[in-house]
Amino acid sequence: MSENFSRRDFLKLAGLGAATTAVLTGCGPASRFVRREPYMQMPEYTYNGLSTYYATTCRECAAGCGLVVRTMQGRAIKTEGNTNHPLNLGKTCARGQATLQGLYNPDRVTDPIQKARGTALGRESGNLLDWDAAIQVAADALGKHKPEEIAFLLGLAPDHLDDLVRELAEATGINPPLRFGALSMFEARATLSRAAENLFGKSGIPYFDIGGAQVVFSFGANFLETWLSPVSYTRGFAQMREALSKRRGTFVQFEPRLSSTGAKADEWIPIRPGTEALVALTIGRLAFELIGGALPRAFSDVDPMQAAAKSGVKLETLQRLAALFAGSPHSLAIPGGPALGLKNGLSVAEAVLALNAIPNNFGKPGGVFFSAPAPGQMESSRAASTREMRDFITKLADGDIKVLFIHGVNPVFELPAEMGFKDALQNVEQVISFATFPDETALEADFILPDHHGLESWGYQQVGTGTAQSVLSGAQPVVSPFYNTRATVDVLLAAAKLAGGAFAQALPYVDEVAFVQHRIAPLMRESGGPFSAPEIGAFSAYFQQHGGWWKKGTDLLPPNPADVLNRDLDQTESEFVGEGEFFLVPFVSPTLAEAGANKPWLQELPDPTTTVMWNTWVEMNPATAHDLHIENEDVVVITSEAGEVEAPVYLYPAIRPDTIAIPFGQGHSSYGRYAAGRGANPADLFGLHFNQAGDLAFAGMKVTVRKTDRKQALSRMESLMGVYGEGLGQEK
Amino acid sequence: MNSKIPEIKLSEEQTGKWGMVIDQDICTGCQACVAACAMENNLSFVGEVDAGYGRSMHWIRIERFWEGEYPEVKMTPGQPMMCQQCGSAPCEPVCPAFATVHSQAEQLNLQVYNRCVGTRYCANNCPYQVRSFNWRDYVRPEPLPNQLNPDVTVRRMGVMEKCTFCIQRIHKAEDKAKSEGRELTDGEFTTACAQACPANAITFGRIDQPESLVSQLIRKHGHGVKHLEELGTLPSVTYFKGG
Amino acid sequence: MFKRLFDWLRQPLGLIAVGIVLLTVFSLAAYGIFLTQQSSAQPIQFPHRTHVGFGIQCLYCHPGAARGPSAGIPSQAKCWGCHQQIAKTQTSALLAPLKQAVESGTPIQWVPVAMVPDFVQFNHRAHVAAGQNCEDCHGDMTLVTIAENPQVFNMGWCLDCHRKAAGEDEAKLLKLADCGTCHY
Amino acid sequence: MSDQNKPSVQGTAGHHDHGEEHFREKHLLLDPLPRGEMNAMVMESMQTTSWRFWLVFAILSAIVVYGLFYKWGVLILKGQGEAGVMRPDYWGIFLVNTVFWIGISHAGTFISAILRVFKAEFRRPFTRAAELMTTFGLVQAGFSVFMHMGRVWLAYWLFPYANQRMLWPNLHSPLTWDLLAITTYLLSSTMYLFLPLIPDMAMARDRSTGWRKTFYKILALGFRGTEGEWTHLRNAMNIFAFAIIPVMFSVHTIVSWDFAAATRPGWNSTIFGPYFVVGALHSGMGAVVMVLAIVRGTMKHMKYFIRPEHFEAIGKLMLIISMGWAYFFFNDYLVQWYGGDKWTKQLLHFHEAGPLGWMWFAMLVFNVVIPWSVLWNHKWRSSPWLIFFVGLFINVGMWFERYIIIPVSVTINRMPFTWRLYEPAIEIPMSIGTLALFILLYMAASRLVPLIPVWEVQEGQMAHKLTRFGRKTVVTVSELE
Amino acid sequence: MAEEKSILAVFSDLEPAANAIEHLRSLGIHDDCMNIISGIPVTEAMLGRPSQWTNVPRIALGGAILGFLGAGFLVFVSPYLYPYPIQVSSQAFVPGPPSVVVLFEITMLGMLTSTFLGVFLDSLFPSYRPMKYVPEISDGKIAILVECAVPEEGKVTEKLRKMGAESVQLAEAQHL
């Protein structure tokens, strides 16, 4: 099917588009010199001047929301949510909306290129290849090395590429692919999964039915920003709040710095970082005391008085919250965000998950489940924890890996500099990147064999984190490739064929579409899907047309609650690394996330809490700043044991005085004109400390803050005068 | 001389045609609407310096304030602020060139880009401060212009612009309904912001039809707020503060 | 020196000379502006007259007019569909560009004839549905070889027709004469 | 010229006593010179230029070319983003300058129309100097409006003409009224400048050679001074003197309506009309004394025509106008303070305590404190240089007033999320360029146009005489018409 | 008329000029044949001359009416000329108070412009043809221009000299 779409067919009618893009000059000369090119062969489903809509999957994060992209004359015009897709029901987040700015980004990698490592993309630093040569490079890389010397590093999304490489790995003995992304690091997925395993005897990402809950206690979980599946959880939040149909749900957020999720809470509890587990257990104890009956083992050890003192939350408050939590049959406690990025992150996750046993909402509406497994989801396929990444880097540094293929991830930027990924690459003979954009990692590669943009490519993605239904989200090109790029799956298939031997046998597929069809073929036999077809061609067409395949009913798995409370839970406070006086709370920018910085409109979206655009800032309590003689927009240097970061201060009224916070998402050194040289990357501050589950303890640091004598104006949407009264003069 | 032009005088009670309700209790401030609007309506991005100086081209912005002091500090619910499509709009009469006029057919405030000469009086007189001016010819490097929506005029330097309630979608839906020989149904289409909103905080529809979803919401909530209503602007956007 | 020149210019002959120079400069400027407003030649001397003469309906090649905003230029495949069966296609010098374009797979660079400015949102479908014939706006194609528009599409012309179409129907006039009907 | 040629007042007055010298020294109209001599003085003053004049002229030309034309080109090509305007300060210094220059222009009309109607005889030597300010000031105001427009090349759309879009300007808009009013005012004040100039042009024509002769000949239109010509001229000037007064008032009132008709807090004030008019006169009179002081100090023979008595008289007017301004200011302030909504109160607070609070206080000092403390004294206000500085302060103060009303006030609106402080950029060189153009035009005019309406002065000298009542000699004025 | 000669007598003062006019009249020269040219506005009464007719006020009135009509067209007619109804805010097509402003401004513009043009029309400005004139006039002198068929040219000249004319000459039209 892919042959039917040639670039020519798609782009031949430049006319109307050109007339549109021709600037608004009235009847001036510019509009007189427009040329119109007809289609060579108009696709039968295309009409002049009418839009065509294609269903596909959003690739801006790993959640896997369904998109419908409006195209016209071969151009993608607008992304909209797929209303039938169970995950997002027609909604999108800001990043999904801006995905076109990636597709038509002026700084894409346009051709396969061989280049010197560490150099920027350009004619002088590399030479363009044609695809035959590029595939030969990949084939040589596969065929001329021992299987164990070949490794794949893939993005977070569990997509068809992951499946393909996994198949390849199983058949040939190359290293199984590692999936990683900064989001999984900040979401601490491994921790969540391990906590579930410890409590319920089964690993997996829990699913929280916020929509059905009446009381939600969130310990740092930033589910309204970019946590697991933000659109789906935002919908859940809205349902919880929906005052028209039922009682308005109550939402309490425990975190040292008010996040944009916390801003929606009815009550924000600024607990002392590190005491999350303690507070959760205390609430559990107090709640049980209210309900009456024997105190379960999990909560028996905590001393509420002491907990109140340690956490900085008044005992009365804790009692009130416990009563609130105990008072509803649909109370839900969610662990997440920086709370899991503590050295005792696993304890926090367990303690908070255990709270859900109070109304025993496991497997009940408004409670905790295991996410519905996506069709065809491999047990082995899960994101790597940061510690696994560290181990992998050690392998690289030791020279055990000779060939590294990188796709969909930018570890040079996303991983802590301390981990030394960039240096480790020096010991890898050949680094081949499939990057769409010239990101920091791609620039460290020897070859860039650019993949299509997500909107130009086939595929599917398993949806594993935010839906009650079992969803395999389908992807198809909405426009023909804009540049001389090629689908990575196609490149690998061709390379494997060239490499011959086990590789060729492992991947007997004609092309990417054939592979996708092969993978979705088992679904034809499944019942409960939205469509059915007797043969794979039609089924595949339906699959793309609907934007995927999903089962109608819920497939959530109830966890086994038997042992949850019948165990000792760790209540000790988290240790913090470093000598500084401030707790550091790094958080992922809700609008940029890890890969949005190259899209100009995402840069120009105000941050939901600070309204800052185009830059990095450091949040600091105004009282603290006053004591340190720091003013708004003074540049400060944050020093951790691992490094330093410079950024201007934002006086943030809703942060603990002993805490500072910094967003992750900026600080690129390359990655296109809109990202490069802008802001700072807090990953430079992260030391190599992990929590018990192997996730990075990114929030487990204490740092020092030093004021410089420079100021840097932050680009804000808000008015300093109107919102903070700054510069208005003293009140009379 | 056209004597048959009906003279419409809006009374205090008269509502417009299209309207929006925004539930601030569930607005998470996530900026999806802002991004959707920018993508749908060919908004220019202006860069760090201009954006920080109050020259951003957002047609919709989410306002938030702070209440109280730490630790009892609270962020006020996000307040998406866009053109309120006033029934009696202060921006309209002050334009010397008739570039911003009232659409009698759609009951919207129109901004006719090509008629605008850039006196900026309308923006000055807008109590909601929701108009954005093209201070410069903002550059969209190739190939970014490929994503431009052909249904929306690309504005150039010196022209005022503002939220149109996605009038291109209104026209498109009306045209489609007409071609199928039927009436437009409620919820058949919506604005880009309402379409994107993950929390469904924005609802768009006919406020002059009692059975439409927006009218039902207004009735059910019962305590909707219209901003700066005291100025007699008859805004078409209703906010539910909730909480 | 200057004074002599000045004096010379002040006498009648000098004044006439000044006049001639000014007139020349002005005319050149006007011609220059005029030139910028001219569209260049069509790549193919497409004879609408001949095609219409064969009885081909407008909507056969421009079906978009009945369906959506844009009438559209027919795809080259459509041209070739007929032309490859016509012997003359292979021989005629006038058709050489078409043959060349189809064979080499390069698009023909048509020069648009009927255009409205970018700030006007025009929808063919509504006009066709309202009973307008193509020739009402585009002229009688049986009379022209290379299409040229019989009138300038300006706003007064549009409105004239819209007013007539509205007739006595006030609601229709409000809709048809609303600024927001075409400008957004 | 012989003594007999002196106007007939000489003959009838003919009575010398010790007081007469004093009167003659003091009052121009009692110190007649033969007309021919005055003509020669005026002609000489026009034709005398020192190297200093040309130096200043060259510097100002450079400033105009750079600050006004070059920078304006930049502004047009790159857009209003070159200026400091943004949300919410969509209006910046360009409109401040517009209001300021329209204000300046009010003085000319005030002096030559109102004082003419009320037969204030001291006006005679400087009506033209003031009228020139009106015209040139309005030119700057017009420039400033066009600088402000985002698409200035489409400015003609604001004029009523039948176009193919069948669109006329929006008569609902205060800006349209403004445009009509400024156009009316510019045209009528230019005509009013020109009418009394015709006899002086004829005078200059009779006394010059070369290109000047051609120039004056063309502008004198063939005026000889026949009975008919004088009658038509007198009639026309009378009509103008009366009719231009309401036009003048309307212009600044309408300018004030640009603000008062808006929904902005602090602007929506019914007293803005008269407040602006008085403010305009305030700065206008300040500008007149500055111009007169400079003209008197730098141009030949002008000490004869412009004397301390004139500064004294204008000083009195300035004092009254300053009081009037203070009255209207206080009225506006009090009412806003007392009954204003929260935004208005916030705005008043912002005026005083905000980052530009110094400007607010400077405005009060310059507009009220300084004039009041100087002008009450007869001697002080007779001193050209002292009153020059008072005029300077008033003009700076009035510019501050407009700055506070426009960019400072629009900072505070009903959407506190958008409040931002205006930081002018390209406006500064362009404003300086405008000022330079004004001075440049005035300098050029001072060497091309008789600054003193000689015939009016002579007429005045004929009408004035000293009469003795008992032991006292007093000045009497007879009406010639 | 047969032989027409004009005589231009220049006086330096009002009194002798007035006397001269009286004497000329007694010589049978009609007032219409005399014209006074002066460097300052000398009213007719000062010289005992019949008052001058001027059309300027009438022209001004006409201009005002024209201006008013033009403004009326803009205010009351032009809003209905639109083929499409233009509604701004909730204001009527012909708004009351703003109409007053426009009517006033354009009326005044019409009146003042026509007053100005009235001077041109009435005085036949601009006229660069040769005219009978002496430059001394702009030095404040008063000249009597006798411009009819004068039967006794010498006698008139004599008389004028006697009445104190500084100079009496046959006036020749010349470029000014």
CB contact D79 to B (< 8 Å): yes
Q: Which chains touch E (3 or more CB pairs under 8 A)?
A: B, C, D
Range of weakest confidence among C74-88, C151-165, D87-101, E162-176: E162-176
Question: Who contacts B237 (Cβ-Cβ below 8 Å, separation ≥6)?
Answer: B19, B20, B21, B22, B82, B84, B85, B226, B227
E92 to B88: CB separation less than 8 angstroms, yes or no: no
Residues of chain C with pLDDT under 70: 1, 37-39
CB contact E85 to C (< 8 Å): yes
Range of weakest confidence among A723-727, B10-14, D70-74, D150-154: B10-14
pLDDT of residue D211: 87
C179 to E85: CB separation less than 8 angstroms, yes or no: no
B105 to C183: CB separation less than 8 angstroms, yes or no: no
Contact yes or no, D with C (3+ CB pairs under 8 Å): yes
Region D437-456 average pLDDT: 92
B179 to C129: CB separation less than 8 angstroms, yes or no: yes
pLDDT of residue A9: 37
Q: Who among D181, D228, D232 is closest to E105 (CB)?
A: D181
Q: Who among B95, B118, B128 is closest to D149 (CB)?
A: B118
Cis peptide upstream of residue B71 (ω within 30 degrees of 0): yes
Among D174, B98, B90, B95, which Cα is nearest to E101's?
D174
A38 to C69: CB separation less than 8 angstroms, yes or no: no
> C96 — phi, psi (to 5°)?
-55, -45
Region D206-212 average pLDDT: 87
Range of weakest confidence among A22-26, B10-14, B215-219: A22-26
CA B144 – CA A401 distance, rounded (Å): 39
- For residue A587, the surrounding DSSP H or E stretch is strand A582-588
Q: Is residue C31 included in any domain, yes or no?
A: yes
Q: Who among E77, E89, E93 is closest to B7 (CB)?
A: E93
Q: Is residue B235 included in any domain, yes or no?
A: yes
pLDDT of residue B3: 44
D307-362 residue pLDDT tens:
998 999 999 999 999 999 999 999 999 988 888 788 898 899 899 888 899 999 99
Indicate whether E2 pLDDT > 60: no
Question: How many angstroms separate the CA of residue C158 from the nearest CA in chain D?
Answer: 9
- Residue D79 · residue B158 · CB < 8 Å: yes
pLDDT of residue E151: 66
Instruction: Find the residue in D nearest to B63 (Cα).
Output: D417
Region D464-473 average pLDDT: 82
CA A549 – CA A528 distance, rounded (Å): 10
Among A585, A600, A590, A656, which Cα is nearest to A624's?
A656
Q: Is residue B161 included in any domain, yes or no?
A: yes
For residue A447, the cross-strand partners are A114, A432
Among C143, C141, C124, which Cα is nearest to C132's?
C124
A94-107 residue pLDDT tens:
999 999 999 999 99
Give residue for tokens 């004879």.
C47
- Name residue D191's amino acid: M
CB pairs < 8 Å spanning B and C:
59
pLDDT of residue A488: 94
Question: How many angstroms separate the CA of residue B188 from the nearest CA in chain D?
Answer: 33
CB contact C153 to B (< 8 Å): no
Indicate whether A492 pLDDT > 50: yes
Instruction: Find the residue in D nearest to A732 (Cα).
Output: D349
Q: Who among A8, A16, A32 is closest to C105 (CB)?
A: A8
Among A463, A480, A482, A459, which Cα is nearest to A472's?
A463
Q: Is residue B2 included in any domain, yes or no?
A: no
A419-474 residue pLDDT tens:
999 999 999 999 999 999 999 999 999 999 999 999 999 999 998 888 888 899 99
**Boundaries of domain holding B134:** 18-240
Q: Is residue B36 included in any domain, yes or no?
A: yes
Question: How many angstroms separate the CA of residue C72 from the nearest CA in chain A?
Answer: 5
- Name residue A539's amino acid: F
Instruction: Find the residue in B nearest to E93 (Cα).
Output: B7
Among A566, A577, A507, A512, which Cα is nearest to A544's?
A512
For residue A636, the cross-strand partners are A647, A707
What are the chain B neighbours of D144 within 8 Å (beta carbons)? none
Q: What's the CATH code of the domain at B115? A: 3.30.70.20
Indicate whether D9 pLDDT > 70: no
Counting residues of chain A whose pLDDT is more than 90, the rounded percentage is 61
D239 to E123: CB separation less than 8 angstroms, yes or no: no
Where are the alpha helices (H) located in C11-105, listed in sequence order? 12-36, 48-53, 58-61, 64-67, 76-83, 88-91, 96-104
Q: Which chains touch C (3 or more CB pairs under 8 A)?
A: A, B, D, E
Token pair belonging to A242 = 């929906």
pLDDT of residue A2: 35
pLDDT of residue A245: 64
Domain boundaries, chain E: 7-51+127-174, 56-123
Instruction: With cut-offs at 50, 70 and 90, classify the pLDDT of residue D481.
Output: low
By DSSP bridging, strand A471-475 and strand A459-463 are antiparallel
Q: Who among A24, A29, A41 is closest to C37 (CB)?
A: A29
CB contact D165 to C (< 8 Å): yes
pLDDT of residue E117: 92
Q: Where are the beta strands (DSSP E) in A379-442?
A: 403-406, 430-433
A499-555 residue pLDDT tens:
888 888 888 899 999 999 999 999 988 888 888 888 999 999 999 999 999 988 888
Q: Who among A97, A623, A724 is closest to B70 (CB)?
A: A623
CB contact D50 to B (< 8 Å): no
For B48, D112, D193, D308, the CA distances from D283, given in Å and listed in that order, are 41, 16, 20, 20
Region A151-158 average pLDDT: 92
* Domains of chain A, CATH where assigned: 2-103 (2.20.25.90), 113-179+379-470+480-505 (3.40.50.740), 185-370 (3.40.228.10), 582-724 (2.40.40.20)
Indicate whether B128 pLDDT > 50: yes
Instruction: Find the residue in B nearest to E84 (Cα).
Output: B5
ipTM of the complex: 0.89
D248-286 residue pLDDT tens:
999 999 999 999 988 888 888 889 999 999 999 999 999
A79 to B39: CB separation less than 8 angstroms, yes or no: yes
Region A262-291 average pLDDT: 92
Region A162-186 average pLDDT: 91
CB contact D415 to A (< 8 Å): yes
* Number of domains comprising chain B: 1
B73 to A241: CB separation less than 8 angstroms, yes or no: no
A80 to B196: CB separation less than 8 angstroms, yes or no: yes
Question: How many angstroms separate the CA of residue A369 from the nearest CA in chain D?
Answer: 42
* Number of domains comprising chain C: 1
CA D122 – CA A647 distance, rounded (Å): 68
A 10 A CB-CB count for C12 gives: 7
Region A161-181 average pLDDT: 91
Model confidence, pTM: 0.91
- Residue B65 · residue B77 · CB < 8 Å: no
- Name residue A376's amino acid: G
CA A109 – CA A438 distance, rounded (Å): 6
pLDDT of residue C35: 74
CB contact D352 to A (< 8 Å): yes
A721 to D415: CB separation less than 8 angstroms, yes or no: no
Instruction: With cut-offs at 50, 70 and 90, classify the pLDDT of residue A234.
Output: very high
CA E69 – CA A146 distance, rounded (Å): 97
Indicate whether A26 pLDDT > 70: no
pLDDT of residue E82: 75
What is the separation of C-alpha E103 from the centre of its chain, rounded to a whole number of angstroms? 29
Question: Does the structural domain D10-477 have CATH classification 1.20.1630.10?
Answer: yes
CA D365 – CA B217 distance, rounded (Å): 57
E44-97 residue pLDDT tens:
888 888 888 888 899 999 999 999 999 999 888 888 877 667 888 778 888 888
> A126 — phi, psi (to 5°)?
-160, 170
Q: Who among A97, A106, A604 is closest to B141 (CB)?
A: A106
D13-62 residue pLDDT tens:
444 555 677 788 888 888 888 888 899 999 999 888 889 999 999 999 99
**Boundaries of domain holding C27:** 2-36
Q: Who among E106, E111, E124 is closest to D243 (CB)?
A: E111
CB contact C72 to A (< 8 Å): yes
CA B42 – CA A334 distance, rounded (Å): 39
Q: Who among A12, A19, A39 is closest to C118 (CB)?
A: A19
Indicate whether A122 pLDDT > 80: no
pLDDT of residue B11: 46
